[in-house]
Amino acid sequence: MADSCILAPDFWCAKDGVAVMNVVILLGGPGSGKGTIAGRLVAADRTLRHVSSGDLLRDAVKRQTAAGVEADGYMKRGELVPDAIIARMIADLMAGIAGPCTLLLDGFPRTVVQAEILDGTIAGCGASLAAVVLLEVADEILVDRIAGRRACPGCGAGYHVTNIPPRVAGICDACGSALTVRKDDNPETVKNRLAVYQAQTVPLIEFYEARGALRRVPGTGPIDEIVERVRRALS
């Protein structure tokens, strides 16, 4: 493994002396910072790869993979993409990666049923579930974080009115477009998303905790400190 790797050497497993792909699942409520943390980890280690379920889906549809074409049909009909199709996309991604790699899964699984499907996918690809990291953040903090998020409709850059403010209030630093609030970031929608998270994901947390795979990490404080906590949790 590359010397620059931020994870401990024993984080990798081996089969017949060959490094095996590992999977880390990132759990946490909306606004807990999963994507930000994953981005920091990947920037420091080229053997890591952040895989958000949304990006995975959009990429498969764009590339018109078999799973992407099937998923596109569901989305055009306004239906949810079946869990098994998302799992196939993850399997396709794994099959296309050569050499040591740890996937940081963000957004899948969200339920115990999805976790069981993912177990089969991981085993079928010869990979291993290395850890499940839970970013713990109080609901009231999550609501505050999400309420302050701003997005650039022009270039896609993300900001926060307090934590990551633009140089000029309401204006994107990169392209000068007026920043907007995503429709699903309003307080009422956020509270509903948190309720769904509690209903669906709390059983998933218990599922992985019973297997001894769950690692709880406080998700508040300076971002660099949170990243360091996640690193230690994976060592």
CA atoms within 13 A on the CB side of 67: 18
Pairing of strands 48-52, 102-106: parallel
C-alpha span between 45 and 166 (Å, rounded): 27
Token pair listed for 135: 């970013």
Which residue spans within the chain are E strands per DSSP? Answer: 14-15, 18-19, 22-27, 48-52, 102-106, 128-136, 149-151, 158-160, 214-218
Residues annotated as part of the active site = 34, 110, 149, 182, 193
C-alpha span between 226 and 206 (Å, rounded): 22
Token pair listed for 47: 């053997």
